[in-house]
Structure 1
Amino acid sequence: MSHSASQWGFPTASRRALLIHGMTMCSNSWEGIAQLLVADGFFVIAPNLLGHGGRECTSYRISDFAEDLQPYFAMDTSYDVIIGHSFGCLVTLSLLPFLPKTKETTMILVDSALELEEKKINIFQNMVLDWTANVRTTEEHMAENPAWSRRDCVLRTLGIATFDTNTVKVFRQNTPWSSNGLLKNLPPHVKITLLVSNPESIPHDIERINTKVLTGIGHWIQYECPDAIMDAIPLPRAKFQWGSPTACRRALLIHGLNSSSHTFHRVASALAAKGYLVVAPNLLGHALRKPGVDFQVQTLADELLPYFQAAEYDIIIGHSMGALVVLSLLKYLPRTKPTSVVLVDPSLELTAEQMMVAKVRFSNDVRTNPTAEDYMALNPLWTREDAIWRVLGTHIGRSTNSDDHIDGNAPWSFSHLIADKPAAAALTILVADPSKLECVAKFKDIRTVIVSDASHWIQYEFPEVIVEEALRNIEE
């Protein structure tokens, strides 16, 4: 029987994820989660189960669904993360015999129904029959599920429309409906996290299972709270975030050269307190990440596109070189959605001589290896935490970062990118040195602010100014 699957990311990525959808869904239903995983450096595969995504189903045992996926483990193919939703959780657990004997694997079971009594089986069977007999439109799904995006609703409709109704026989072919036994005697290299919307779904007397109850969330956790799934992945992350995953507003913060996502810790905490979910990616070549194909700012920006495919942002802030990355992303912003964009002390134009001075300055930090105490002595407005994050940014970056990125962007000229700003976006530039604003004088629809008594590290010294300016554009 022919197989079909969706995939995202580069097949050569160092990490792999396998996503198993639930009943009446299809591989595309993982779009949002897949994009987030790609942004974290994964190659993602989501197969269509038997009877789903246009596939026929003639075998109805859960073990048959798992056996059908065996080709995805051919030639010793393995996965760092395997995620299953609903009925897909039972299939996911049935994949345990296919896993490598020693490789660490994280399994995330999203709102599974591991144990069902006869009454519940009848309810679920009738519910699936109703879904297929009365296929709801995208608009109807949106009306019933205000937390879902339009994309989620389209994919929900697609899943039902491509479902083989014979597959409903699964409910009768797997009685008694009991899978808790699969959670016992787990191999030590397999870590399982169970995310549930109903505390009654938590299995009892099962060891080594990390369980999290998501209150106020429905069955479709991947649509309503995707970050809860991402947070369950205990692997090196390419981003850091603050705030509630269910926050109605989002902010994206982009750090500068020889820095990391934590450079914005005070700005991020303040925005989270204002009701924002704040995401701060680590750029290529920083925070232990490998560099890209080259060191151009546009390459750094393009690598962040999955963040924009997965969500829209109310606020976008970039510091130093991160501000240039933000400028390179302006052309990708929604044309009509109001977006507050704040550039923090960027060097938009540099002469060859100024580029050389910058290389020396950044290289000195790497060569002299200042301690947190050194930074605090030189910068009395910094907290100890600021100084520690500054040290960390240098230590977990590449030693040649400054030379590579400065040389890789010659001639250093970025002010022309301001012209890519959508009319709906508001742009503010904060600087410590007024001379940095000379190159933007010709642009009339931007706001410029000189932050007195600040150094290049405004996010450490006056984080409240950054937050105030970001929110000003939202409130106006």
Structure 2
Amino acid sequence: MFPVTLPRISWGEPRATRRALLVHGLGSTAALMWRYGVALAEDGWRADAVDLRGHGAAPRVLDYSIPAYAADLVHALPAHGEPTWDLVIGHSLGGAATALAAAGAPGWTRRVVLVDPAIHLSDHDREVVRRSQEEAFADPTEAAVRAAHPRWHPHDIELKALAARQASRWAVEQTSLQNPAWDVREAVARLDIDVDILAADPTVYSIFDGPLASEVLASNDRVRMTVVAGAGHSPHRDKPEETIAELRRVLRERRTMGS
């Protein structure tokens, strides 16, 4: 296994003193993390988002295991020779890869925020993801995205359609096939940094809820969780204002607590 260099886009002042890395989910792109990038830049951060291997403009490879995704992230460091991110935000697959990267490379980041993370996928969740990706590839148009998500911001509709056209379908399919035991619970339990989970609302659809969420929270007292009411698997697209408000709250509270 070898790392690849991930292309990135950025928000905020290049020399900002606080630096964040944004990691998207399966079938997505760096650009679709724009809500977090804009909010962090408004708050004085520099935020860099990457295209994961096989997605967007990132290199195509043969290995789409979660450890391979994580290895790429460990090698994606802040500019100007800085060795540590102040914050990494990972959504879904990006959350799993972020957790594995942070557990395997202490000092890579000072804290993480995981957005409805794919910590452990049940067979049901795998089937939901498979159908969702098939639909995205079958009709990668803005009209199809708008029909499925009429309340999304126009940027999200445009970028989600573009992401399906840019991603390698083979890479997305292999990400499921090459990870038959999709499970990074042990990595989360080992994390010795602050971990905040912004979970989707189970009454809509979430891949991090119920017994799984209870188990993960019990495994590590540095892990906290909040549910974004009314949001599905992509809270930053379903309930963007509420999601950003929760992000700002957890960042502020951890800072107040002296962590």
TM normalised by structure 1 equals 0.47
Matched, 1:314 2:86: yes
> How many Å separate the matches in 2 of 1:340 and 1:473?
10
Q: What does 1:64-213 correspond to in 2, within 5 Å?
A: none
Matched, 1:466 2:242: no
Residues 471, 262 of structure 1: alpha-carbon distance in 2 compared, 3 angstrom cutoff? farther
What is residue 175 of structure 2 aligned with on the other side?
A: 405
What is residue 185 of structure 2 aligned with on the other side?
A: 415
Deviation at 1:299, TM superposition (A): 0.5
What is residue 363 of structure 1 aligned with on the other side?
A: 134
- Indicate if the aligned counterparts of 2:30 and 2:50 stay in contact, CA closer than 8 A: yes
Deviation at 1:448, TM superposition (A): 0.8
User: Runs of 5+ in structure 2 lacking a partner?
Assistant: 203-208
Deviation at 1:279, TM superposition (A): 0.8
Aligned match for 1:348, one of 119, 123, 127: 119
CA RMSD in angstroms comes to 2.4
What is residue 333 of structure 1 aligned with on the other side?
A: 106
Higher relative contact order (CA 8 A, sep 6+): 2
What is residue 5 of structure 2 aligned with on the other side?
A: 39
- Indicate if the aligned counterparts of 1:340 and 1:471 stay in contact, CA closer than 8 A: no
> How many Å separate the matches in 2 of 1:259 and 1:445?
29
Deviation at 1:416, TM superposition (A): 1.4
- Indicate if the aligned counterparts of 2:217 and 2:224 stay in contact, CA closer than 8 A: no
Give aligned-pair identity as a percent: 24
SS at match of 2:163: helix
- Indicate if the aligned counterparts of 1:249 and 1:314 stay in contact, CA closer than 8 A: yes
> How many Å separate the matches in 1 of 2:8 and 2:217?
34
- Indicate if the aligned counterparts of 1:253 and 1:261 stay in contact, CA closer than 8 A: yes
Letter aligned with residue 264 of structure 1: M
Which stretch of structure 1 is more off in the superposition, 317-326 or 304-313?
304-313
* Number of residue equivalences: 239
> How many Å separate the matches in 2 of 1:260 and 1:304?
14
Based on CA coordinates, which of the two structures has the bigger radius of gyration?
1
Matched, 1:437 2:213: yes
Residues 242, 408 of structure 1: alpha-carbon distance in 2 compared, 3 angstrom cutoff? same
Matched, 1:241 2:13: no
Deviation at 1:362, TM superposition (A): 1.4
Deviation at 1:353, TM superposition (A): 4.7
> How many Å separate the matches in 1 of 2:9 and 2:252?
21
Letter aligned with residue 94 of structure 2: G
> How many Å separate the matches in 2 of 1:282 and 1:319?
12
TM normalised by structure 2 equals 0.83
Q: What does 1:296-315 correspond to in 2, within 5 Å?
A: 296-308=65-77, 310-311=81-82, 312-315=84-87
- Indicate if the aligned counterparts of 2:52 and 2:69 stay in contact, CA closer than 8 A: yes
Letter aligned with residue 39 of structure 1: T
- Indicate if the aligned counterparts of 1:372 and 1:384 stay in contact, CA closer than 8 A: no
For residues 128-177 of structure 1, give each alpha carbon's deviation from its aligned partner in whole angstroms, at most 9, with x where no partner exists: xxxxxxxxxxxxxxxxxxxxxxxxxxxxxxxxxxxxxxxxxxxxxxxxxx
